[in-house]
């Protein structure tokens, strides 16, 4: 992407890239999705100036939500400084001129790929997820006409067949990411490929949670304080597990860890995947000490 | 059917029909699929439907099972009007109290899912959430349809045609349905495999007290399995009665031709 030096008010782009028609269409889809938690609402996905797989669904949802007063945070795998996060953040700086931040507590809208921030969210925040495959039943039933019918009629036996197959084959449910959930006791949905460690944070969250799938042109959502239950079996219950280590930077035992390779001799260490959380915690510890 | 079974048959008849069909018709444009079909099916009873190819057997069966909407007529299952019922309830019935065994196991199995998962699906669909219990039930059913329990995690694509068909039967019967629809369940199998499957079906039907609507073009199959017989021609029922009576003393000219094997069915 080239960074235009033109001011935002210039005619080159509407506020936050999308024209008003498209925004209205997207906002309608978002409102509908919020009204029916977990239900996948089709929308007319637009070409975005980035390839699919780079979060075009999330970007469209964010663009439809952003207002000039917003402060935007973008994370990829918990980090603000990956190529994907940086380019999306720059895109909105350029097309919406919104303020940006890396601090979870300061952001009013957070677009994310693969994580929910460790710092608890508030009622003043919107969390936008980038979703590659919005249909959790796809694995066993490729026909969309059938999966839509299954959702409509609440026929979710097949979802458990998938979990059964996992246990039969691997001794446990192997989804460490994208563990399917039941939203508001009604729709089975995918939380996007967040680690299962994050699943409990989906439930009863004060923030608005929006899920955008660009290539598949679907939006689903969780309004604040929605009950979200991770699917499981009585005798193979869902466990929100993480690596059994502490962060080697901030010492947290509670946050989700990435295993980072430190050299080419096979050295490795565990650090928080949420870089803002890790940084804030380290800084706070530093202040305490001095 | 021997005398003892006839007695049971007389007894269950007092309980009233499980399935009542009245004036059922289905047209494909101006062509008749099936026309004005009426019958009652009693608990524990096996009704065979025979007739040459194109006589309307599959059309009738798919209307009964709710796979197609008929143009006229009514179906009452266990006192419930199937057409007054909302789709979710009809589908719930279809996967709990009813079952459908397809001629081709490919149409009735999930080929990408293990044998255990295939049998477990209906259990999970009606709320089964205990993995151990589902697996135990699947093992039990594999045994009942004479499949080695060690094959529980194998996919049906690794099974022979006969095994696939037995797996399809287990998958359908696991929720103890009261009514089973079968469309040529032994079609496409070798004769020796057919005989074993028929034996197995006969045992299951008797042990579980199943009611069955069985479509076949094979008179040997109905002779072995069906208590009662309906003969169809050009979409119409031309004769119905107890299987032995119809086969040994056919009244309608068409049935006489069918029985004497003059007709290629
Ligand atoms: N999908 C369909 N479209 C049009 N005609 C059909 C269709 N299915 C069946 N028919 C016609 O309906 C009649 C009954 O067919 P079918 O029920 O398949 O008979 P059977 O199972 O006894 O062979 C035949 O004349 C057949 O050609
Ligand atoms: Mg047929
Ligand atoms: Zn840390």
- The string of pLDDT tens digits covering residues B241-263 is 999 999 999 999 999 998 887 55
Cβ–Cβ gap A140/B110 under 8 Å:
yes
- What is the C-alpha separation between A217 and B149, in angstroms, rounded? 44
A12 against A191, higher pLDDT: A191
Structure ipTM: 0.86
DSSP A112: E
Catalytic residue among A57, A78, A212, A250: A250
Check residue A100 and give left, alpha or beta (phi > 0: left; psi -120 to 50: alpha).
beta
Contact residues on chain B for A160, CB-CB shorter than 8 A: 124, 128-129
pLDDT value of position B5: 54
- What is the C-alpha separation between B203 and B165, in angstroms, rounded? 16
Closest Cβ opposite residue A157 in set B125, B135, B153: B125
- What is the C-alpha separation between A47 and B264, in angstroms, rounded? 61
Check residue A133 and give left, alpha or beta (phi > 0: left; psi -120 to 50: alpha).
beta
Please say if A55 is a catalytic residue: no
Span from the CA of B98 to the centroid of ligand 1 (angstroms): 23
Overall average pLDDT of the A134-140 stretch:
91
- The string of pLDDT tens digits covering residues A77-106 is 999 999 999 999 999 999 999 999 999 999
Q: Answer yes or no: are the C-beta atoms of B229 and B241 closer than 8 Å.
A: yes
- The string of pLDDT tens digits covering residues B134-166 is 999 999 999 999 999 999 999 999 999 999 999
- What is the C-alpha separation between B196 and B176, in angstroms, rounded? 22
3-state helix, strand, coil in chain A (%, to 5): 30, 20, 50
pLDDT value of position B91: 87
Please say if A250 is a catalytic residue: yes
- The string of pLDDT tens digits covering residues A50-85 is 877 788 999 999 999 999 999 999 999 999 999 999
Cβ–Cβ gap B114/A235 under 8 Å:
no
- What is the C-alpha separation between A92 and A62, in angstroms, rounded? 9
- What is the C-alpha separation between A126 and B130, in angstroms, rounded? 37
pLDDT value of position A1: 43
Name the nearest CA neighbour of A188 among A129, A138, A241: A138
């Amino acid at each position: 992407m080239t960074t235009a030096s033109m001011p935002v008010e210039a005619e080159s782009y509407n506020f936050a890239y999308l024209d008003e028609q498209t925004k209205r269409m997207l906002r309608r889809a978002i409102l509908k999705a919020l009204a029916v938690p977990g239900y996948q609402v089709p929308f007319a996905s637009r070409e975005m100036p980035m390839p699919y797989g780079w979060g075009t669904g999330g970007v469209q949802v964010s663009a439809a939500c952003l207002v000039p007063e917003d402060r935007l945070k973008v994370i990829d795998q918990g980090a603000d400084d990956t190529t994907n996060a940086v380019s999306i953040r720059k895109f909105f700086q350029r097309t919406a001129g919104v303020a940006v931040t890396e601090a979870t507590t300061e952001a009013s809208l957070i677009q994310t790929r693969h994580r929910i921030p460790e710092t608890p969210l508030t009622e003043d925040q919107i969390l936008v997820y980038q979703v590659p495959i919005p249909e959790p039943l796809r694995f066993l039933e490729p026909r969309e006409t059938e999966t839509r019918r299954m959702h409509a009629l609440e026929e979710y036996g097949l979802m458990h067949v998938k979990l059964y197959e996992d246990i039969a084959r691997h001794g446990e449910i192997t989804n460490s990411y994208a563990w399917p959930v039941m939203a508001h006791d009604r729709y089975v949905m995918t939380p996007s490929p967040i680690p299962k460690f994050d699943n409990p944070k989906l439930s009863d969250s004060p923030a608005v949670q929006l899920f955008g799938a660009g290539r598949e042109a679907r939006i689903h959502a969780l309004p604040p304080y929605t009950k979200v239950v991770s699917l499981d079996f009585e005798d193979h219950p869902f466990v929100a597990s993480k690596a059994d280590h502490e962060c080697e930077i901030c010492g947290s035992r509670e946050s989700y860890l990435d295993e980072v390779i430190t050299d080419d001799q096979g050295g490795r260490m565990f650090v928080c995947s949420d870089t803002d959380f890790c940084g804030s915690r380290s800084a706070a510890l530093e202040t305490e000490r001095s | 059917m021997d005398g003892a079974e006839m007695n049971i048959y007389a007894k269950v008849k007092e309980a009233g029909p499980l399935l009542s069909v009245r004036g059922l018709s289905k047209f494909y444009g101006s062509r008749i699929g099936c026309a004005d079909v009426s019958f009652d099916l009693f608990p524990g009873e096996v009704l065979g439907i025979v007739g040459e190819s194109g006589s309307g057997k599959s059309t009738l069966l798919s209307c009964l099972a709710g796979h197609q909407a008929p143009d006229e007529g009514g179906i009452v299952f266990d006192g419930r009007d199937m057409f007054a019922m909302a789709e979710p309830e009809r589908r719930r019935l279809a996967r709990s109290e009813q079952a459908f065994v397809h001629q081709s196991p490919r149409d009735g199995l999930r080929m990408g899912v293990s044998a255990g998962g295939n049998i477990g699906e209906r259990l999970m669909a009606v709320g089964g959430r205990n993995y151990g219990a589902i697996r135990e039930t699947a093992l039990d059913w594999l045994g009942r349809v004479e499949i080695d329990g060690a094959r529980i995690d194998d996919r049906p694509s690794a099974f022979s045609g006969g095994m696939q068909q037995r797996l399809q039967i287990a998958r359908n019967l696991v929720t103890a349905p009261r009514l089973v629809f079968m469309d040529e369940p032994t079609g496409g199998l070798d004769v020796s495999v057919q005989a074993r499957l028929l034996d197995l079906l006969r045992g299951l039907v008797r042990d579980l007290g199943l009611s069955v609507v069985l479509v076949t073009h094979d008179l040997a199959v109905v002779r072995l399995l069906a208590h009662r017989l309906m003969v169809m021609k050009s979409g119409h029922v031309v004769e119905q009665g107890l299987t032995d009576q119809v086969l040994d003393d056919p009244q309608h000219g068409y049935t006489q031709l069918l029985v004497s094997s003059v007709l290629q069915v």
